[in-house]
Amino acid sequence: MDKQADTYYAQAEAIINDVIGILTSYGLDLVGALAILIIGLWFSKKAAAMTRSALTKSKRVEDTLVSFFSSIVKYLVIVFTVIAVLGQFGVQTASLLTVLGAAGLAIGLALQGTLSNVAAGVMLLIFRPFKVGDYVEAGGHSGTIKELNLFTTVMATPDNVRITVPNSSIWGSSVSNYSINPTRRVDLVMGISYDDDIDKAMAVMQAVIADDSRVLSDPEPFVAVSELADSSVNFVVRVWVNNADYWPVKFDLTKALKQRFDTDGVNIPYPTRTVYTIADN
């Protein structure tokens, strides 16, 4: 009986020694891993907050980009923290990084269209060729910008049709922004008959322009003969207006010029055709 008890005691002592050996071997690694994990998670939040604070101070960085970059920084710190924790337990991190790199490459190739839209969205948000509310022509479409995110740009056409355009299509093409400058030039072409007085017609047009208070004096309005066309003498009329007045002035000025021409006896020719009939003998 005593011999059996001694055997049990020896086995228990061996198990305890094994546990103590394991704790001695891995206890410090476990404590170190926990410390790295705690510090890494704390630093990821701190780094994200610092990134957000730094980007917020810049007037060129949109709120969407602030959240995007702060999230990127946070998760990058977390990834490196996890790799450091695994390395604390003897995991070959070099092999792990190779696997992660290969996986990232595969994912990047599979999502290259989406990633190109994200990259284009980041560039649009940084360089800001337009902002929400601007009327632009970009990516083969024209409309007022309603929304700009990392993947797409949303426009509304003048007849209120919603258009969603991938950012890569916009970044890879020219962008015409009709709203960014405070002033725009209104260009009109007016034609008169060859029988009418050119100086009189010019005086009439200059008077109509002077009567419109929305037309800016600087740059000075410009009226000149531009072409001796087939059936008319054409004038170019160029006036500068505030951006918001572009279409109202264009429409109103066209109407006013026609009405003043009618009142002052200046004729606007229209195409005519002379038909000769040859009678059969």
| Domain residue extents for the chain | 2-110, 129-177, 183-264
CB 65 within 8 A of CB 128: no
DSSP state of 245: G
Share of the chain above pLDDT 70, in %: 74
Q: What confidence score (pLDDT) does residue 42 get?
A: 86
- Render pLDDT for 59-90 as a digit per residue (tens, 0 to 9): 666 666 676 777 777 878 887 888 777 777 66
d(CA 98, CA 94): 6
Q: Which architecture, in CATH terms, is 183-264? A: 2-Layer Sandwich (3.30)
Q: Is the pLDDT of residue 110 over 60?
A: no
Q: Looking at mean pLDDT, say which of 31-45, 131-145, 243-257 comes out highest.
A: 243-257
Q: Encode 104-141: b = buried (16+ Cβ within 10 Å), e = exposed.
A: eeeeeeeeeeeebbbebbbebbeeebbeeebbbebbeb
Q: Looking at mean pLDDT, say which of 4-8, 45-49, 125-129, 135-139 comes out highest.
A: 135-139
- Render pLDDT for 163-188 as a digit per residue (tens, 0 to 9): 999 998 999 889 999 999 999 999 99
Hey, what CATH class is 129-177 in? Answer: mainly beta
At which residue do the structure tokens 């060859």 appear?
194
- Kindly indicate the confidence band of residue 25, based on its pLDDT and cuts at 50, 70 and 90: low
What is the CATH topology of the domain spanning 2-110?
Answer: Helix Hairpins (1.10.287)
